[in-house]
Structure 1
């Protein structure tokens, strides 16, 4: 079993520029079967309702307390906890008490189908666009074979971490490669540098696992 590591290669306060830069990197490895997923966290009811209007097919899921629904049949759990699309969200703000932040996602979509709308809707919330099932080429001059299993690009909005746990005023593009850790060093980091350079980018920070 192998894991990936993601290197930041671009950062900007301009979401449109961040998206266009991420797309240029995606196109370098895109195949007909490549896919895209989007995910975000919303900390207020107003944010939730706004995104539900703009992107109603996305799935929302709220927090639950540990053991809150132990022994409760799934059909009897609140839709907001089980997962609900925009049109099914509660209209009463009180229903969101104890459930925020809400997670929101749309998964495994065709590339180009959701990115613009998501970028326009994310606002100041934290979230990500992740392109996967890409294929990075061989770099024979650098001594690296290509990559498919861990060939991904992620665009982070309003955060610099894959866990979305550190708010930021800008947006970061991450380039993923296979993690090969030997004696405390990432042996495929030079490959990430090579890939970034092919798209006119530069690795600007340490990798994130």
Structure 2
């Protein structure tokens, strides 16, 4: 398991708007190798049905330290709600369907790509794939999906040693970073 470092650049209730800004950030990046990772905190049978129908091979585990249901054990997810559901390495064309299926559930879409562009204004060359992500947390204020919210948060991920790339990226799309640069386990 590796880590990236993420910093928030936008929080809004405008779902279409936050996805457009995520797209503008991706337009800056080297997306020759682009994939999408998805995670959600699923609490209701309806959420499970929608997401399970879309990504039936997703990994999942029950939420809570004293609960031990999981896809690894061969358990039925419907018997262990709430669960944390995860599916990595999806095609970027799945984003709209994933967002629709998530509904009001706290969920995360993370775009994983080849690297960030050169940022000469802050003394940085092109960034490699490690630490190059854009994440939208839907209906959540945190990357772990533990703080449900009525809004959505957009994060840029960078290498810790290139922390100055985060405000530079935000500025490229007319935004500013807020909050702290935080470790984001992958």
The normalised TM-score by structure 1 is 0.75
Matched, 1:139 2:140: no
- In structure 2, distance between residues paired with 1:143 and 1:132: 23
Question: Deviations along 1:155-191, whole A, 9 cap, x unmatched?
Answer: 10111111111111100110011113xxxxxxx3322
- Specify the alignment match of 1:106 in structure 2: 87
1:60 is displaced (CA, Å) by 5.3
- Does the Cα contact within 8 Å between 2:59 and 2:87 map onto a contact in 1? no
The Cα shift of 1:67 comes to: 9.5
Are residues 1:38 and 2:38 paired?
yes
Alignment of 1:180-191 (within 5 A): 180=161, 188-191=162-165
5+ residue gaps, structure 1, are 82-94, 181-187
SS in 1 for 2:87: strand
Q: Tell me, which stretches of 5 or more residues in structure 2 are unaligned?
A: none
Q: How many residues align?
A: 179
Task: Tell me the equivalent position of 1:192.
Answer: 166
CA distance in 1 between counterparts of 2:67 and 2:95 reads 36
- The residue number in structure 1 matching 2:60 is 61
Give the RMSD, CA atoms, in angstroms: 2.6
Superposed, 1:9-28 pairs within 5 Å as: 9-28=9-28
Q: How far apart are the structure 2 equivalents of 1:68 and 1:103? A: 12
Normalising by the residue count of structure 2, what TM-score does the alignment of the two structures yield?
0.83
Partner SS state of residue 202, structure 1: coil
Report if aligned partners of 1:2, 1:179 keep a CA contact under 8 Å in 2. Answer: no
